[in-house]
Each structure stands twice: as C-alpha cells, then as structure tokens.
Amino acid sequence: MAEETKRKVKAPKLADPIASSIDVASQEMIARAQKLGVETIFDRAMNMKPCAIGVQGICCKNCSMGPCRLPLPKGGIEGEDTRKGLCGATANTIAARNFVRMIAGGAAAHSDHGRSVAEVFLSAAKKLTNDYHIKDYDRLLGVAPYLGVATTVEVDGEEMDRDLDEIAVEFAEKAMAEWGKPEGELLYAKRAPAPLYEKWKKAGVIPRNIDREIVEIMHRTHMGVDQDYKNLMKQGTRAAIGDGWGGSMLATDMQDILFGTPYPLQAESNIGVMKEDHVNVVIHGHEPVLSEMIV
Ligand code: SF4
C-alpha cells in the first residue's frame, strides 16, 4: 500500500502591525490588510530568511563562470584570507564590486529622473510646450552661475541684466550636457561647499559626467577588469557624487525653477485625508513632472 505522507503546511507568520511602523495610519492599514488577507511587505519580511552569504556581500555572479561564493568560515579566518573566486577575485573585491553596482543602480535611478526633468526644462525654456512654464526666475538666477551661465551682459560698457529666457535656455543646455559631455568635469560639483569640493579634488573623485561614472562602474566590476577593492570604492564615490551633486541636485534645482521653490505650509497629510464619498486619486511628489500635470 502506498504510504501517504501528510505534511503540515505551516501558515505564514504575520507581522505585528504596531512593531512594523511608528506611523499610526500605517499600523492601522497593516492590521486592515491582514484582516482582508492581503499580504504586505511586512508579512513577507517575517517569512523571508536573509541569505547568510548575501548578507556578507560575498556572492559574485558577474560572469558566467560563477556564481562564486566565498562564505566566511564558521570559526572566522586566522592569518591570511585566501578565499578567491574563479577569476581570483578576493572577498573584499567581490564585496566592493557588489556594493558599487548598488551605487550604479541607485545613481542611475535618481539621475535618470533628473534627466527627464532637464528635458522638460529645456522644452519649457525654449517655449516648445504650453504645459510647463518657468515659475521661479529668482531661483534660476541663483543657480545659473554654477553652470557658468552669465546673468548679466555688457552693453555699451554698462553691465545690464541678461534676458531671462536666454539664461533659462543656456542653463537647460548646460544642464543636459552634465549627463554626457565628452570632456571636462561635472560643473555642478561646485554647487557643493568649497572645502568639500577641494577635498574631492584632492582625492581624485570629481566625476567627469553623470552617466560616464555609472557606465564605468559596470565596466570595472566585470570579470578581469578592476580587482582592487579600494579603487572600486573610489569609482563608487565618483558615481555617487555625480548623482548626489549632479543628477539629483540638478533635478531639485530645475524642479524648483519650473514649479516654484517649496515653502513650509500647514496641511493635512497621510491616509486619513481620503474621503469615503469621493474618488480619491493618490499621487506622490516623487515625479513632480507627472503630478504637476495631474493636479
Ligand atoms: S567574476 Fe570572478 S568571482 Fe565573479 S562569478 Fe566570475 S569568476 Fe566568479
């Protein structure tokens, strides 16, 4: 007689709503979702055991000879660490490769958002669209010098204010070039405080342009290219600065110029603002180029 094996299927664990968030509205929503049988990230996190090797960042699958895993022995390592992947990459190299690829991913995401803002900004500056207009010229005049855009002109030996539309177009064109110009360095790095800029200069981490440093991470972290973890981290720093002070900062400044510089105000927020007898359209400010069109 065939033996029947009965396995008990364990019910997945549910997250404690109160311990999951400090936000009271989120706590209520997690509890409500559980009541409705809707699984959330908080419940999934209860049932997901992190990979012990992944946690240490020492699994490499950057080429098809791997994946190479270099777990730390239970008793630790005494003396020289001889762990190596097939290509000779050490645990430090693999951890650095993985980390800087995460920087590349994050920098690409943030900075590509910035690129779309720059495209919209350029079309607004050139008056090619009726949907977006430059609202905050004071902000434009404040940041124009960082891209080397003159705000005054000399007419008959006299210093005069430059045409605002002309400033906007030059700013937009120079901003677009920050993503992929063929030479020089990221101009907007000088938007950072001067001592910080000097520190970066001394360390050799001023980005050339936003995209190039991301591409170089993908190149260098491939098999047989850069095996020096310190050098890899240096490239990660270049890409991070390219994003933080380039793509993301340009996005912030151009959004302020396009939509008006934000100012503090008192308002109701969070899930409680939704009304039962209304059609509630939920948007967020992460992509203001889109939400500006919806609101
Ligand atoms: S790049 Fe090196 S460590 Fe990574 S998978 Fe290939 S051989 Fe293994």
Residue 155 bridge partners (DSSP): 158
What are the b/e assignments for 112-138, b being 16+ CB within 10 Å?
bbbbebbebbbebbeeeeeebebebee
- Type of residue numbered 138: D
The reply to whether 251 and 170 lie within a common domain is: yes
Atom of ligand 1 nearest to the CA of 224: 1
**Among candidate residues 130, 100, 67, 46, the one with its CA nearest the CA of residue 215:** 100
The reply to whether 122 and 212 lie within a common domain is: yes
Q: How high is the ipTM of this complex?
A: 0.99
Atom 3 in ligand 1: residue holding the nearest Cα: 85
Mapped to the 3 state alphabet, what secondary structure does 190-205 carry?
HHCCHHHHHHHHHHCC
The reply to whether 254 and 172 lie within a common domain is: yes
The reply to whether 113 and 182 lie within a common domain is: yes
Distance (Å) from CA 95 to ligand 1 centroid: 12
The reply to whether 28 and 170 lie within a common domain is: no
Distance (Å) from CA 285 to ligand 1 centroid: 40
Collapsing DSSP states into helix, strand and coil, what is residue 152? strand
pLDDT confidence bin for 160, thresholds 50/70/90: very high
Q: What percent of the chain has pLDDT over 70?
A: 98
Q: Which two tokens stand for residue 85?
A: 């992947």
Atom of ligand 1 nearest to the CA of 94: 3
**Among candidate residues 236, 237, 283, 287, the one with its CA nearest the CA of residue 114:** 287
Q: What percent of the chain has pLDDT over 90?
A: 80
The reply to whether 29 and 142 lie within a common domain is: no
User: What does the alpha-carbon distance between residue 26 and residue 13 come to, in Å, rounded to a whole number?
Assistant: 19
The reply to whether 153 and 249 lie within a common domain is: yes
The reply to whether 252 and 113 lie within a common domain is: yes
- Give the structural domain span for 236: 98-262+284-294
Q: Is 91 part of a structural domain of the chain? A: no
Instruction: Considering only residues 76 and 34, tell me which one the structure prediction assigns the higher pLDDT.
Output: 34
User: What does the alpha-carbon distance between residue 287 and residue 293 come to, in Å, rounded to a whole number?
Assistant: 11
Distance (Å) from CA 64 to ligand 1 centroid: 7
Q: Is 63 part of a structural domain of the chain? A: no
Distance (Å) from CA 270 to ligand 1 centroid: 46
Q: Is 43 part of a structural domain of the chain? A: yes
Q: Hunting for tokens 């900004």 — which residue is that? A: 121
Ligand 1, pocket residues at CB < 6 Å: 60-63, 65-68, 85-87, 89, 94, 223
Collapsing DSSP states into helix, strand and coil, what is residue 155? strand
Atom 1 in ligand 1: residue holding the nearest Cα: 223
Cα torsion angle, 137, 139, 140, 144, sign: positive
pLDDT at position 76, please? 84
Q: Is 137 part of a structural domain of the chain? A: yes
Q: Is 85 part of a structural domain of the chain? A: no
The reply to whether 33 and 168 lie within a common domain is: no
Q: Is 207 part of a structural domain of the chain? A: yes
- Type of residue numbered 130: N
The reply to whether 289 and 155 lie within a common domain is: yes
What mean pLDDT is reported for the chain?
93
Q: In whole angstroms, how far apart are CA 131 and each of 126, 128, 289?
A: 12, 9, 10
Lowest mean pLDDT among 75-79, 171-175, 253-257: 75-79
Distance (Å) from CA 66 to ligand 1 centroid: 5
- Residue 133's contacts (CB-CB under 8 Å, 6 or more residues apart) are 124, 258
CATH code, 125: 1.20.1270.30
Report phi then psi at 28, rounded to 5.
-65, -40
- Residue 91's contacts (CB-CB under 8 Å, 6 or more residues apart) are 56, 58, 70, 72, 81, 83
Q: Is 279 part of a structural domain of the chain? A: no
Atom of ligand 1 nearest to the CA of 68: 8
Atom of ligand 1 nearest to the CA of 86: 7
Mean pLDDT of 157-175: 96
The reply to whether 106 and 246 lie within a common domain is: yes
Number of structural domains (the chain) is 2
Residue 201 has pLDDT above 70, yes or no: yes
Distance (Å) from CA 96 to ligand 1 centroid: 13
Q: CB of 187 within 8 A of CB of 147?
A: yes
State how beta strands 59-60 and 158-161 pair. Answer: unpaired
Q: Is 225 part of a structural domain of the chain? A: yes
User: What does the alpha-carbon distance between residue 122 and residue 113 come to, in Å, rounded to a whole number?
Assistant: 14
Lowest mean pLDDT among 5-9, 102-106, 243-247, 250-254: 5-9
The reply to whether 106 and 219 lie within a common domain is: yes
Q: CB of 125 within 8 A of CB of 172?
A: yes
| Overall residue count recorded for the chain in this entry | 295
pLDDT at position 223, please? 92
Q: In whole angstroms, how far apart are CA 25 and each of 34, 45, 107, 159?
A: 14, 20, 31, 57
Atom 2 in ligand 1: residue holding the nearest Cα: 87
